[in-house]
Structure 1
Amino acid sequence: MKVNSGLPYCSICVKAYIRSRHFMETQYHVRVYIYSIISIQSFMLLAGTAAFVHSSSFSSEVGKCNLDSDYDNHPKRVSAPCSWKFLMESYFEKHDSLMDSDIQAFFVHELHPATCEVIQQNLNSLLRMSVLHRNLIGEGSHRHLFSFLKFNVLSEATFELPAHFCEAIIIERLPHGIFADPFELQHLIERGVFVDAAVFGDTNLELPSVLSNRSIVEVHVDIGNNFLATNKEGVEIKLELPLHARYPPLDGSGYSEVEINKPNLFVHCSVNEPLQQQDCLWLLIDESTQLKTSTIVWRIPSGNEKHVKVVSLVTFTVALLSTLLIVLTSIYSSHVNKY
């Protein structure tokens, strides 16, 4: 009788123990799920930070002068002094400002080109820019800035010039909200599209427009050997620069507009004869040049301010329901596995 009377009590104890065990296992599954979410988010944050550091490091190295690199051994590379690898590098050695007026003043008044005795004429008397056409190719937030340049050789004295090699240097001063990817430019260099290229200024590819600063892209394009003496019908340069839009701030119209002004153009020539080895640099465009272009306007899609409350409410509701569904599924799954 004593044994039989103890059976119901033992049965209740077993059921209570099972319920307690199920509750503890459910809590364990919920904790594992929460820890997994936190771990994934932490990993993504660390990965993003590492990518940012690598991107910034790469971008800064692109603009530096490396005497040990294969830069001077490039088959299309002008044999220029190391300090001339990038013109903007010399600007940032003296200035921190990214204002157009400061950059333009540096080009006109502070950038002193080397004396060029072998080409004594001013290049502006040898060349005239007849066409400068620019437009954006593509749609959305990833587009190409297309530039078409044509130069006419005017002076007959160019036939007497020594052997030389020249390249065009295009400097694009990008506004807030637009950037060029240094990795993409490096790929174009490897394919031979550009002789060289560098990004200066804000090289963080992840920042939205409101937190970013301006950047400047310097591109070197091959013109060819003896182009001043042989290209009497003109020299044409076609350039496509890949650009990307940052996330713009909210706008009532659903679009954010940025303006891209005309670039600064230089011609850099190198004379490599045994008794004459010189480098010559000319600023090719000034304010008096008549250009067939206007300021380019890029309309970037942005979030609409009128939709902020609706989007926020829907996002919060979906996230909450998804979390509850995962927790309930975990609880139900633990009960099914036990029975």
Structure 2
Amino acid sequence: METQYHVRVYIYSIISIQSFMLLAGTAAFVHSSSFSSEVGKCNLDSDYDNHPKRVSAPCSWKFLMESYFEKHDSLMDSDIQAFFVHELHPATCEVIQQNLNSLLRMSVLHRNLIGEGSHRHLFSFLKFNVLSEATFELPAHFCEAIIIERLPHGIFADPFELQHLIERGVFVDAAVFGDTNLELPSVLSNRSIVEVHVDIGNNFLATNKEGVEIKLELPLHARYPPLDGSGYSEVEINKPNLFVHCSVNEPLQQQDCLWLLIDESTQLKTSTIVWRIPSGNEKHVKVVSLVTFTVALLSTLLIVLTSIYSSHVNKY
């Protein structure tokens, strides 16, 4: 009787644990799914106003993507690109009256992935040449480059990691929009967008005649991809959107100027970046499932036999 009692208690315990794990997994899935639908949620609470080099953004938004998500809830590339070209109206810039395309010319845009496996860095090298002689007459200004990376399914940036880079002074500011759940696999996740602000200095339109170089490393991580026959899953990273934002601060003139610098006519020395992410091989599913089930069954039997033997020893 005592042996049967111990076995019954063990079985009830196993059932209770499995039920708890099932409920917890269901709750986590529901929470993750609802979280994924919250596009436009900024998860970095950086000290924006107190940053010594921070440029006040046009209008009232801190990030350009905040302005986008005020009107849209789509993460499609075509919708975002159309917003940048047709709907994003920067603040009036009477102080710097020239079109920035006549002041700056992109000469190099080189991008590649650094590292191997599921945790890599997206390296971008950008170089601008200042062309117009009229820039010598520009008033005092401070400028920053704004890089917007539209990440595909299966890749994400860690907001906490970006926050650490901000604290170290690598970025002026950064934010992640879209799906920021770090635990979801690729098939259950949504896309995300990373907006990074980089300092390019005081009066750079007037003083950098030999060009301005920006080197940026953005840490990215791959989600668990679906099974694939080759053992790898490929995702493509397209070119980013790049803005230059300048702030003019004078006693009688305080304005913000924003320019979309990259367009379809720009000659870029880059192509779409392909990231081959290691994934489970479909050919191994049956073998892995059989081994997993066998190990679990043997472990359960071992626990039951140990419990029976222990109760038998204690009885005598």
Scaled by the length of structure 1, the TM-score of the pair is: 0.84
Q: CA separation in 2, counterparts of 1:56 and 1:186? A: 25
Q: CA separation in 1, counterparts of 2:272 and 2:306? A: 57
Task: After superposing the two structures, state which structure 1 stretch, 68-77 or 199-208, moved more.
Answer: 68-77
CA contact (8 A) 2:43 2:176 kept: no
CA contact (8 A) 1:146 1:241 kept: yes
CA contact (8 A) 1:170 1:219 kept: yes
Q: CA separation in 1, counterparts of 2:203 and 2:262? A: 21
1:102 Cα deviation after fit: 1.1
SS across alignment from 2:280? coil
CA contact (8 A) 2:39 2:73 kept: no
1:329 Cα deviation after fit: 1.0
Structure 1 residue 275 and structure 2 residue 223: aligned? no
Give the direction of change, closer, same or farther, for the CA distance of 1:324–1:263 in structure 2 (3 Å limit).
same
CA contact (8 A) 1:65 1:83 kept: no
Deviations 1:1-59 (A, max 9, x none): xxxxxxxxxxxxxxxxxxxxxxx444454455556656766777888899999999999
Structure 1 runs not aligned, ≥5 long: 1-23
CA contact (8 A) 1:126 1:158 kept: yes
Give the direction of change, closer, same or farther, for the CA distance of 1:38–1:79 in structure 2 (3 Å limit).
farther
Give the direction of change, closer, same or farther, for the CA distance of 1:143–1:55 in structure 2 (3 Å limit).
farther
Give the direction of change, closer, same or farther, for the CA distance of 1:102–1:69 in structure 2 (3 Å limit).
closer
Deviations 1:196-253 (A, max 9, x none): 1111112222221112221111111111111111111111111111111111111111
CA contact (8 A) 1:165 1:226 kept: yes
Q: CA separation in 2, counterparts of 1:184 and 1:322? A: 39
1:324 Cα deviation after fit: 0.6
SS across alignment from 1:32? helix
Give the direction of change, closer, same or farther, for the CA distance of 1:96–1:238 in structure 2 (3 Å limit).
same
1:333 Cα deviation after fit: 1.6
Give the direction of change, closer, same or farther, for the CA distance of 1:53–1:153 in structure 2 (3 Å limit).
farther
CA contact (8 A) 1:65 1:82 kept: no
Higher helix share: 1
CA contact (8 A) 1:200 1:215 kept: yes
SS across alignment from 2:301? helix
Give the direction of change, closer, same or farther, for the CA distance of 1:127–1:256 in structure 2 (3 Å limit).
same
Q: CA separation in 1, counterparts of 2:295 and 2:73? A: 46
**Which has the higher relative contact order, 1 or 2, with Cα contacts under 8 A spaced 6 or more apart?**
2
Q: Which of the two has higher C-alpha Rg? A: 1
1:273 Cα deviation after fit: 1.4
Give the direction of change, closer, same or farther, for the CA distance of 1:66–1:206 in structure 2 (3 Å limit).
closer
Q: CA separation in 2, counterparts of 1:269 and 1:45? A: 53
1:325 Cα deviation after fit: 0.6
SS across alignment from 2:144? strand
Q: CA separation in 2, counterparts of 1:55 and 1:228? A: 45
Q: CA separation in 2, counterparts of 1:177 and 1:190? A: 27
Q: How do residues 147-158 of structure 1 correspond to structure 2 at under 5 angstroms? A: 147-158=124-135
Q: Which residue of 2 aligns with 1:174?
A: 151
SS across alignment from 1:262? coil
Kindly tell me the number of residue pairs found equivalent between the two proteins: 316
Structure 2 runs not aligned, ≥5 long: none
Aligned-residue sequence identity (percent) comes to 100
Q: CA separation in 2, counterparts of 1:55 and 1:192? A: 32
